[in-house]
Amino acid sequence: MNGINEWYNAIANIGFPIAIAIYLLIRFEKKIDGLREDISRLEHAIQELKRTRGK
């Protein structure tokens, strides 16, 4: 029975932080992808603005 308690403690102490880290990485990845798209659109808008003002 003592071995089971050790496994339970190991899973509780190691598994929970790993699960939280994976969850946060997935959420941040989605936000970073959104930011990348926004930056790309902003870059195109700036280039277009430079073209129209340069004329």
Q: Where are the domains of the chain?
A: 21-55
Q: Is the pTM of this model over 0.75?
A: no
Residue 44 has pLDDT above 90, yes or no: yes
Rounded to a whole number of angstroms, the CA Rg of the chain reads 24
Instruction: Determine the average pLDDT of the residues in 4-25.
Output: 86
Residue 15 is predicted with a pLDDT of 85
DSSP state of 35: H
> Distances from the Cα of 13 to the Cαs of 2, 19, 23, 30, 39, in angstroms?
16, 11, 17, 27, 39
